[in-house]
Amino acid sequence: MCKVCHQIGRFGLLQRLTFSALGSKLFYENQERVREMEFLCLLSCFYNGDAYFAYNMARDQLVKDMTYPRMWNLFNLVLQRADDVRHNRFLMRLLARHPNHQALTLLHANNCLVAGTYKYALSEYAAAYRNNPTPLSAFLIGVTLFQMACQKFSAKKHALVTQGLAFMWKYKQLRGEDGYHEIHYNIGRAFHQLGLLPAAIYHYKEVLNFTSPLTEQYPHILDLKKEAAFNLYLIYMSTGAQNVARSYVDNILFV
């Protein structure tokens, strides 16, 4: 029944079914079944857009076991939909008990970045990068440095930009050729933010010229050509080249 509700988009009914099953004594005879039902409850809340209960379910499952990457991925998705900040204190308490946990460190750094406390975010991202130099941590360090450089009263802007670009190139190196499409879009977006428009145009055009079987198979998830084309449209409109800007709209955005 759960599969049928998911297939036909009856997510409200799916949530009601899973929570009703979770309250049944029959399911508590087997611990594996209990864990499966709790996970189904979490998924039903997520699909139904119920961030309040989804957060509660995800938090409880993380406290029980912090070793499942898919739980951290789901928890992060739930946080993006939540309209409160309950998770801040939860993450800080959990981080105090597990100070070297990679996912916890990154999530806490994300909170600092969103709050505008860039130095705290940079410290946490750097700690995560030292423990495990991943493409994501290198990319986030670069983003934080660019945010600091774009502040009105920040000192040593050139040094911040140089360091940010160094981490962007480290992100490119760690990400590898499989992420070529994504890499050039992110680097182009960084140059766009900094106002270095010729460099941004180059990287956006690299996105438009790149094709791969993977992006063609999952265009709604992986293809960034429309985003790159729209950003090129904005750049050319800001410089007065309206005909060039319009060509990207006509040829890529509205095909």
d(CA 97, CA 102): 13
What are the structure tokens assigned to 152, written together? 């009105």
Cα 87 to chain centroid distance, Å, stands at: 17
Q: Does the pLDDT at position 94 exceed 60?
A: yes
Domain-wise residue ranges, the chain: 1-85
CB 235 within 8 A of CB 193: no
Q: Does the pLDDT at position 255 exceed 60?
A: no
Instruction: Compute CA distances 92 → 89, 102, 168, whole Å.
Output: 5, 13, 28
Question: Region 16-32: what's the mean pLDDT?
Answer: 77
CB 245 within 8 A of CB 219: no
Contacts of 19 (CB under 8 A, 6+ apart): 41, 44
CB 202 within 8 A of CB 158: no
pLDDT value, residue 47: 87
Q: What is the pTM of this model?
A: 0.85
d(CA 56, CA 22): 14
d(CA 48, CA 13): 9
Question: Region 96-100: what's the mean pLDDT?
Answer: 87
Instruction: Compute CA distances 69 → 41, 104, 142, 170, whole Å.
Output: 18, 12, 24, 24
Q: Kindly report, residue by residue over 182-212, the tens digit of the pLDDT.
A: 999 999 999 999 999 999 999 999 999 988 8
Number of CB atoms found within 10 A of residue 230's CB:
15
Contacts of 39 (CB under 8 A, 6+ apart): 61
CB 8 within 8 A of CB 17: no
Average pLDDT, the chain: 88
Q: Kindly report, residue by residue over 55-88, the tens digit of the pLDDT.
A: 888 888 888 888 888 888 888 888 888 777 788 8
CB 142 within 8 A of CB 167: yes
What are the structure tokens assigned to 161, written together? 């930009």
- Could you tell me the pLDDT band of residue 169, with boundaries at 50, 70 and 90? very high
Cα 41 to chain centroid distance, Å, stands at: 23
Angle, CA of 36, 41 and 42, to the nearest 5°: 100
Q: Rg of the chain's alpha carbons, rounded to an integer?
A: 22
Question: Region 10-14: what's the mean pLDDT?
Answer: 84
d(CA 126, CA 117): 14
Q: Does the pLDDT at position 161 exceed 90?
A: yes
